[in-house]
């Protein structure tokens, strides 16, 4: 789900931010960040903390991949001046425990019987929410899930996302869009 196209100003901001990510342009990124950005659920917030936490002085900063992934998954407007991404977070059903489930972020995602591309395909699911086999049952490559019929299976981790993974909020303040939150966890 992506409501971002509703607002031409937001479309231009997000397009520019995606280009910033592709170029790994730190000054442009910092111009897109609100000075009081929320980085954590503690006191380590603000733009100076953002620079330090994301190690923007290093070429291998994870901000580029994490923010790129968040933007790629669309999002929703909470009101005309606030956009939250990804949709996996902003539209997560309250009845589903965010620590015990993941959302599949593609169509016809293959659920396999073992963590291998050579393993038997149990079924394919599209944009479904599946229960994790157990908390922490995610590796860099595979996520262990439980199918609706109770069978255990594995999906490629790049196609499974938790609502408590990185998420961002963007707000229009003083006539321009800025990122006001970029956090993970609870």
The radius of gyration computed from the CA coordinates of the chain, to the nearest angstrom, equals 18
Which strands, in side-by-side order, build the sheet including 82-85?
Answer: 33-38, 176-183, 167-173, 82-85, 76-79
pLDDT tier at 139, thresholds 50, 70, 90? low
CA distance 75 to 2: 5
* pLDDT value of residue 109: 96
Structure-token pair, residue 53: 């936490």
101-161 folds as SH3 type barrels. (2.30.30)
CA distance 74 to 134: 27
CATH number of 4-90+163-183: 3.10.450
pTM attached to this predicted model: 0.85
CA distance 168 to 129: 21
Mean residue pLDDT of the chain comes to: 92
Domain boundaries, the chain: 4-90+163-183, 101-161
* pLDDT value of residue 88: 87
């Amino acid at each position: 789900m992506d409501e971002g196209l509703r607002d031409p100003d937001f479309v231009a901001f997000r397009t520019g931010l995606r280009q910033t990510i592709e170029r790994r342009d730190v000054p442009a990124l910092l111009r897109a960040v609100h000075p009081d950005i929320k980085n954590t659920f503690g006191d380590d917030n603000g733009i100076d903390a953002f620079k330090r936490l994301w190690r923007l002085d290093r070429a291998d900063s994870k901000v580029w991949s994490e923010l790129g992934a968040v933007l790629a998954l669309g999002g929703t407007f909470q009101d005309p001046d606030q956009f939250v991404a990804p949709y996996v977070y902003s539209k997560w059903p309250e009845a589903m425990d965010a620590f015990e489930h993941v959302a599949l972020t593609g169509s016809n995602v293959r659920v396999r019987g073992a963590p291998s591309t050579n393993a038997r395909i149990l079924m394919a699911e599209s944009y479904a929410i599946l229960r994790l086999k157990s908390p922490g049952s995610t590796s860099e490559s595979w996520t262990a899930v439980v199918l609706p019929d109770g069978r255990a299976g594995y999906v490629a981790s790049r196609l499974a996302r938790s609502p408590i993974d990185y998420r961002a909020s963007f707000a229009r303040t003083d006539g321009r869009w800025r990122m006001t939150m970029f956090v993970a966890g609870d």
